[in-house]
């Protein structure tokens, strides 16, 4: 991989497993292009000189040369199939997070990022342990943004009104830059943040509230709030969700013990398919729960046709939505 970096000179460091895979594919594409460039231009120059005007050279016409025709059809076809399969495999690896990934909620807004942890911490920077898969569950408070971490070679749009995800497994400790890669207004270029990748030991201490970032990282000074993360009022994300479940009135219609009160119970629904009034099925995930809270009429569950629930669109903030979803998710068993 060092050869790759020296070849281009401009690529950022390889900070994740998938970055290594992207770079290897990119190196292959460049090598194939360079090979054919030299072959085609080299032969062209050679023939221009050999058969120049007045040289007297003349080739015999070539007709019905099947070996030649099959070769120039088969070689590019096979090459393109290899490139397609390789690209598909790396792309699949990039979008499918391992099931044991640590989940961090990301909220993009004009013009900053914030990161919400399971334990309720909120930080303007992303702090993660090394060699652990991390899944980002991302939403926007206002307009379209895009989470871009060049050192990890990942980029994913952050879209208002829905959740998108991306994941990575960091392999290099220290500070890595985060950019917004979608024009989102006047201060788009200021929408910056950092990922701090910590050793397992430092990570445990950061989780306990120690200011390990400014102690041990000589790669840059983190913003003060990120040093320890801010503990949100209301405890863990699930606890905050439990509180909202009561204060927003969900409790009146949705039980958490499996009993049908007025609406469907939250018990055991997460990750399963539910049948809708039109007979189709939908998986209960972040996007379905969000839609059902914001616009309950969109996808009603079979058997609850007559249930009336007020739409909560605009009445629940992004951090609250994340907490409510974490609460429902915590009742999956
Ligand atoms: Cu957010 Cu550009």
- pLDDT grade for 31, boundaries at 50, 70 and 90: very high
Q: Per mean pLDDT, which range of 7-11, 70-74, 138-142, 324-328 is the poorest?
A: 7-11
Give 214 or 216, the one with higher predicted confidence: 214
For 191-222, letters b (16+ CB in 10 Å) and e give bebbbbbbeeebbeebbeeeebbeebbeeeeb
pTM: 0.80
Report d(CA 177, CA 194) in Å as an integer. Answer: 5
pLDDT of residue 272: 83
- 127 CA → ligand 1 middle, Å: 20
Ligand 1 contact via 144 beta carbon (within 6 Å): no
Q: Whose CA is nearest to atom 1 of ligand 1?
A: 145
Report d(CA 180, CA 168) in Å as an integer. Answer: 17
pLDDT of residue 34: 95
In 3-state terms, what secondary structure has residue 163? coil
pLDDT in tens, 224-265: 555 566 766 678 888 888 787 888 778 778 887 777 778 788
Beta-bridged to residue 71, according to DSSP, are none
**Which ligand 1 atom is the nearest neighbour of the CA of 181?**
2
> How crowded is residue 52: how many other Cβ atoms within 10 Å of its Cβ?
10
């Amino acid at each position: 991989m060092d050869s790759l970096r020296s070849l281009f000179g401009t690529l950022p460091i390889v900070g994740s497993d998938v970055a290594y895979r992207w770079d290897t594919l990119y190196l292959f594409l460049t090598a194939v292009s360079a090979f054919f460039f030299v072959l085609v231009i080299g032969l062209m120059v050679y023939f221009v000189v050999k058969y120049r005007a007045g040289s007297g050279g003349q080739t015999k016409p070539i007709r019905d040369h099947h070996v030649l025709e099959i070769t120039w059809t088969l070689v590019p076809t096979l090459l393109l199939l290899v490139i397609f399969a390789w690209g598909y495999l790396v792309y699949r690896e990039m979008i499918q997070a391992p099931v044991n990934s640590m989940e961090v909620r990301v909220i993009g807004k004009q013009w900053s990022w914030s990161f919400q942890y399971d334990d309720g911490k909120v930080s303007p920077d992303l702090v993660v342990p090394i060699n652990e898969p991390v899944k980002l569950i991302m939403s926007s408070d206002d307009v379209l943004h895009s989470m871009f971490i060049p050192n990890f070679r990942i980029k994913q749009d952050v879209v208002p009104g829905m959740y998108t995800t991306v994941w990575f497994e960091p392999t290099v400790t220290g500070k890595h830059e985060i950019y917004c890669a979608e024009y989102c207004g006047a201060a788009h270029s200021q929408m910056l943040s950092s990922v701090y990748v910590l050793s397992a030991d430092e990570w445990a201490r950061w989780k306990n509230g120690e200011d390990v970032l400014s102690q041990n990282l000589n790669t840059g000074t983190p913003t003060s709030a990120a040093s320890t993360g801010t503990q949100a009022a209301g405890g863990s994300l699930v606890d905050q969700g439990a509180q909202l479940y009561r204060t927003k009135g969900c409790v009146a219609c949705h039980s958490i013990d499996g009993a049908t009160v007025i609406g469907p119970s939250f018990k055991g629904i997460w990750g399963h398919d539910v049948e809708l009034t039109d007979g189709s099925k939908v998986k209960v995930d972040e996007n379905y729960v969000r839609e059902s809270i914001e616009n309950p009429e969109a996808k009603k569950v079979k058997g609850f046709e007559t249930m009336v629930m007020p739409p909560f669109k605009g009445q629940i903030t992004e951090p609250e939505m994340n907490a409510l979803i974490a609460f429902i998710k915590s009742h999956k068993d």
